[in-house]
Structure 1
Amino acid sequence: MPVYRGYLLSHLHIPPHPLRIRLLHSARLSDRIYMGENYTHFYGGNSLNRLSWLRSNATFVSGLFTSPAARCVVFRSGEPLVVNNTQNGRTVIALAKVPSGELRTVLGEEPFFGQGQHPGEIAGQDIKALQSARWRGPNLVFLGVEEPDSDLSTPTNVEDVRGTPYFAMDATDIPTDDLLNTLNVSESQRLEFAEPRSATAKLSSFDASLFALARTMVDWLGQRKFCPACGSRTYPLWAGWKLSCTSVLPWADNRGKSPCPSSSGLHNYMHPRTDAVVITAVLDETGDRILLGRNKKFPSAFYSTLAGFLEPGESFEDAVKREIWEESGVKVRQVRYHSGQPWPYPANLMIGCYASADSSQTIRTDLDNELEDAKWFTREEVLSVLAHPDGTNIRRREYKNFDEAQLQDQSAKAATAAGPIDPQPLKDQPPFRVPPQSAIAGVLISQWAKGEVPGLGLGYSGATSLKGKI
C-alpha cells in the first residue's frame, strides 16, 4: 500500500505527506458536495412511491387500479386532460385526476393488467411474457402511490397501501366526446385537453412532477409500437414499464421465423428511455459575464444557455466541452455540476452545469451552424432583463418556433428546453429575453446573476476569480 500511495501521489505531483493527504481529501470532498444537491426544479421532485418491485404483480396492480382511491391522468396526443376550476371569479388550472372507476367503459374488459390470450382471461403469474401485461385496450401505466407520510412504505398487498394510487392513460384513439361523457364533472369545472407547455406553467409542483412522469411514459409507449429487433408488434407488460415482442407470446405462431433477438438477454429498447442533455452556463474569468446563445428557431431576441445531447462514450464534462466548442467555438474548463431537471418533451434529463472560459476567444457559430448568435452578457444586463416584466416571457404564438425546432436534429431539439409558455403578449420589450425559472436554463442564469450559486464565491459586485472555485 505505501508503495502504491507514493506512486499515485508522485503522478499527481503531491508529496506523500500525511497532512497533505488529509487536506487533499478534504478539498476533494468539498468539491463533490459543492452545489445543486438539494435544488428541486419544476417538473422534478416527484414524491410518488413507485413500488417498482411490484409492477410485475398483476394481482397487486389491478387491485390498485380498481380501488376507490385510484386516480388516472389522461392524455391525448401528448396533451394532458386539465380541469379549469372557477374560484372567486378566477380560473385555476389543475391536472385532471380522474377516478379510475369512471374510465372502465373506455378501457375494455377486465382484467386491466395480466391479460391472457382471450378477452376476460387472466394470465398465469408464472408466465414472464404476461406479467402485468396489457395488450388489449388503451395504454395504461402504473405511476406510483402518493403516500400521506414522507417515509416510503413497502406494502406486499393492496390492503397495505395507504394513499392515492396514480395511473396514466393514453386516450389518443378514443373519441373525445365518448371519453368526456363518461366523466362526472361539476358545474364549476370545465375539462379540456390542453397544449402542455402553456398549461403546465400554472400547475402546482406536485401536478407538474406527476405530469412529467406520466407524459414521458405515455409518449414512450405510443412511439414504440414495433419491435426494433424483428418488426413484430410490441405490447406493454410490468404495468406499462416494459415492452415485449408479440412473437414471444405463448400462443404466437412463429413457424418459419427465426427467434426474435429480444427473447433472450437484456435490451435497452424494451425499457423506458431518458435522453441526457448537458445545459451549461459559461462564465468568463471574472465571473461577471455569461455566454448565451440564440438558436435559429428561437423567438425574437431570445437567448439561453448552450445545450446538447450526450453522445456515446462521453462523460458529462466531455459533453459540455464538446457542445460549447461546437456551438460557439469557445473552449471551456472547470466544468461543475449544478442540478438536474426532468424535461418531458419527450423524455429528457437536463444536466445543468457551470463552466469557465477565456472571454478573449473568438466566438464562431459556423462549426455546426445551429446558433444564429452567441455573445457575452454582463451581470448588469442580465439583472435588468430579469427585473423586466417580460424578460422571461414567451408569447403563445411563438410556441410554433419551439415546435419547429423540436422537429430538427437532436441538438436543436435540446435547445428548445426553454420552459412553459406564458400566453400573455409582450409590451415594451426588453433588449433580450431569457428562459423563465421553470426551466433549468432560467435557474442557472438567474442564480449566477444574483450571486446565489453555492461554491462560486460570486456576489452582485462580481470581480471574483473563478480559479479554484468553479
Structure 2
Amino acid sequence: MSTDPYVNFFSGNPLNRLSWLRTSQPFLNSIIHAPSTRWLVFNDGQPLALTPPDDSSSAVKQSLARLHTHHVRPLLGPEPFFAQGQNEGELAPEDVKSLEAARLRGAPILFLGLHETESSIAAALPSTDFSAHADIKTVIDNIKGDAYFSLDVTDVPKEEVDAVLKAAAVDASDSKLAFVEPRSAMTTLEPFEGAIFAEARCMVDWNARNKFCPSCGSPVHSAWAGWKLTCSTLLPWADNAGKKPCPTATGLNNFSHPRTDAVVIMTVINETGDKVLLGRNKRWPALFYSCMSGFIEPGESFEDAVQRELWEEAGVKVWDVRYHSSQPWPYPSTLMVGFHATASSDEPLRTDLDNELDEARWFTREEVLAVLAHAEGTRLSRADQKELAAAAEKTNPNVNEVPSAYAAAQAPTHPAGPRFKLPPLTAIGGVIIREWAHGCAGRQPAAAGSATVTVTTPNASL
C-alpha cells in the first residue's frame, strides 16, 4: 500500500503561506504591485468566477477569476494597504504590535501565500534570504512565484464593484465574470483552485463574522495581513479613559484565532462488510441521504466523537473505529475527519433521538455500486445544491447539512434516474463510501475515479 498522504478535494494547498512575512508591511505593500500577483474576489461569501457564455447547463465548467492588481486597484483604497496609521495615507510606526500589517480602513484584504512556479529551484523558508527583517529588495528578488490575495467587496458600493468587473471583463475574452454560489460551482473547479478557494473562503468568512473583541467587546481591526484580529483598545490613540485594560493587552494580543471546527464523518459497515449505514436529515430534499457526522465536543477524541454521534443520532453502537483522511470544508470553516467503523446491522435503528434524522437504513454493496455506475448517480443539479445550501443556513453548520455528502433511497424522480444518489468525489463522504463499495481499503480504485489530487500549475489568469 502506498504511504503517500491521501489528498481530498480542497486539500493539498499549493501555496507557500509565508506566515512569517504576515507582519512585514514592506513585503506586503511591495508584493501587491508585482505584475504576477493574483486576486480572488468575494462578495457575501460568493467567489468571482469565469463562466463560459452559455451557462444554462449545470455541467458548465466554471473557474475562479484570478484578477491582476490593476483590475482591483480602484477597490483597494489609498496606500499604504497594510500597516495603516491613524490618518489616511499614514504608515503605522514599526514598533507598535497592534499595527503590524494592520488594515484599519478599506475593503478587507487577506494575504493567502505564494505559488512558487520554480519551487524546485528556490522554495522560500524563514531564512535570512526571506526574513521579515531582511532588506525588502532582497526578499522580493529571492521570491519566485505568484503572490495570491483575497478581497472581500461585500460592503463596497455595487456601482464601484460593477465598474471594476466591467473593466476586467475586457480581458476575459468570451467568458463572463460573475459572483457564483460556491457549492454549485465547486464541482467544476480544478484541484488547484479548490485548494486556494478553501483557504480564502474560510478566512474571508472568519474576518466577516468576528467584529468585536471576545474579551472586552470593543471593535477589532485586521492585523497580520488578515490573519489576526486585534482589539481597538490597543491602538496607540485609543481613548480608554474609565475602562479596564483589555486582557488581550498581554500575551499574543489575540483571543480570536482563525478557527477551524472539526467534524467526524464516517462510513458504518456491518460485521460481514456487505452493508453501509446512511441517514437522511429532515431538512434535506426527500431523495438525499448521507454518511453520519457531527462536531467534535470539548474533552473528546475523534474516536470518542464517532461513537457518541452514532449513538445519539441512530442508537448505533460502533467499534473498530479507523481513521481514513481529512478534508477542509469552507462552509464556513470546517475540517471533516473521515473514519470507518463497524456495527451490527441486526440491531434496531432509531430516528427519534436528537430530532435530526428522518430516516436511517442499511444499503447493500450492490445497491451502491448500481448508483455509482449510473451517469446521474453522483451528479447534483444546481437546484439541488441551492436547496441543500439553504437548508444548511437554517441550522448550525454541519457536514450533514452540506450539499456534497449524501445518498438517497427513495423512488426516482423519473424512471431513467438512479434509485438514489451518492456524494461526488469532491466530498470526503463520496470518497469513503465509494472505497467501501469497491472493496478498496485505503485507496480509491482507478476504475471509480481517483480522489487523490495532483496539484498542477494553474491556467493563465486574466
TM norm. shorter chain > 0.5: yes
List, as ranges, runs of 4+ consecutive aligned residues in structure 1 with deviation greater than 6 Å: none
2:236 alignment partner in structure 1: 250
Within the candidate set 168, 177, 181, 1:184 is matched to: 168
Distance 2:320 2:290 in 1: 20
After superposition, the Cα gap between the structure-2 partners of 1:420 and 1:291, relative to the gap in structure 1 and judged at 3 Å, is: closer
1:13 alignment partner in structure 2: none
Could you tell me whether the CA contact under 8 Å between 1:405 and 1:413 is conserved in 2? no
Within the candidate set 278, 291, 315, 1:292 is matched to: 278
Within the candidate set 147, 154, 164, 1:172 is matched to: 154
**Structure 1 gaps, min length 5:** 1-33, 461-470
Within the candidate set 91, 106, 122, 1:122 is matched to: 91
1:18 alignment partner in structure 2: none
After superposition, the Cα gap between the structure-2 partners of 1:127 and 1:267, relative to the gap in structure 1 and judged at 3 Å, is: closer
Q: How big is the shift at 1:150?
A: 4.5
Could you tell me whether the CA contact under 8 Å between 2:248 and 2:254 is conserved in 1? no
Could you tell me whether the CA contact under 8 Å between 1:200 and 1:420 is conserved in 2? no
2:124 alignment partner in structure 1: 153
Q: How big is the shift at 1:455?
A: 8.9
**TM-score, with length taken from structure 1:** 0.84
**Structure 2 gaps, min length 5:** 132-138, 407-411, 449-462
Within the candidate set 39, 50, 55, 2:6 is matched to: 39
Q: Which residue identity does 1:117 align to in structure 2?
A: Q
Output the aligned Cα RMSD: 2.4
Within the candidate set 96, 108, 116, 2:65 is matched to: 96
1:417 paired with 2:402, answer: yes
Question: Which has the higher Rg, Structure 1 or Structure 2?
Answer: 1
Question: SS state of the match for residue 361, structure 2?
Answer: strand
Question: SS state of the match for residue 106, structure 2?
Answer: coil
Question: SS state of the match for residue 201, structure 1?
Answer: helix
Q: Which residue identity does 1:49 align to in structure 2?
A: N
1:111 paired with 2:80, answer: yes
Q: How big is the shift at 1:397?
A: 2.2
Distance 1:135 1:69 in 2: 26
1:133 paired with 2:117, answer: no
Question: SS state of the match for residue 273, structure 1?
Answer: coil
Distance 2:82 2:100 in 1: 8
2:391 alignment partner in structure 1: 405
Q: How big is the shift at 1:432?
A: 1.7
**TM-score, with length taken from structure 2:** 0.85
Distance 1:139 1:35 in 2: 42
Q: Which residue identity does 1:433 align to in structure 2?
A: K
Could you tell me whether the CA contact under 8 Å between 1:197 and 1:420 is conserved in 2? no
CA displacement, residues 34-73 of structure 1 (integer Å, 9 cap, x when unaligned): 8885221111111100000110111111111121111110
CA displacement, residues 375-401 of structure 1 (integer Å, 9 cap, x when unaligned): 111100100111112222223223344
Question: SS state of the match for residue 270, structure 1?
Answer: coil
Could you tell me whether the CA contact under 8 Å between 2:119 and 2:144 is conserved in 1? no
Of 291-300 and 329-338, deviating more is: 291-300
2:372 alignment partner in structure 1: 386
2:438 alignment partner in structure 1: 450
Q: How big is the shift at 1:203?
A: 1.1
1:465 alignment partner in structure 2: none
The equivalences for 1:299-448 within 5 A come to 299-410=285-396, 413-419=398-404, 427=414, 428-448=416-436
Question: SS state of the match for residue 184, structure 2?
Answer: helix
1:5 alignment partner in structure 2: none
After superposition, the Cα gap between the structure-2 partners of 1:370 and 1:418, relative to the gap in structure 1 and judged at 3 Å, is: same
Q: Which residue identity does 2:294 align to in structure 1?
A: G
The equivalences for 1:66-85 within 5 A come to 66-85=33-52
Q: How big is the shift at 1:426?
A: 6.7
Q: Which residue identity does 1:430 align to in structure 2?
A: P
After superposition, the Cα gap between the structure-2 partners of 1:401 and 1:85, relative to the gap in structure 1 and judged at 3 Å, is: closer
Distance 1:37 1:275 in 2: 25
After superposition, the Cα gap between the structure-2 partners of 1:380 and 1:268, relative to the gap in structure 1 and judged at 3 Å, is: farther
Distance 1:375 1:130 in 2: 55
Distance 1:365 1:440 in 2: 24
After superposition, the Cα gap between the structure-2 partners of 1:150 and 1:358, relative to the gap in structure 1 and judged at 3 Å, is: farther
Could you tell me whether the CA contact under 8 Å between 1:133 and 1:239 is conserved in 2? yes
Distance 1:59 1:342 in 2: 31
Distance 2:60 2:436 in 1: 35
Distance 2:198 2:150 in 1: 11
Of 64-73 and 48-57, deviating more is: 64-73
Of 231-240 and 386-395, deviating more is: 386-395
Distance 2:260 2:348 in 1: 34
Within the candidate set 251, 258, 264, 1:278 is matched to: 264
CA displacement, residues 213-267 of structure 1 (integer Å, 9 cap, x when unaligned): 1111111101101112222111110000000011110100000111112222347
Q: Which residue identity does 1:145 align to in structure 2?
A: L
Could you tell me whether the CA contact under 8 Å between 1:115 and 1:122 is conserved in 2? yes
Could you tell me whether the CA contact under 8 Å between 1:418 and 1:439 is conserved in 2? no
After superposition, the Cα gap between the structure-2 partners of 1:269 and 1:431, relative to the gap in structure 1 and judged at 3 Å, is: farther
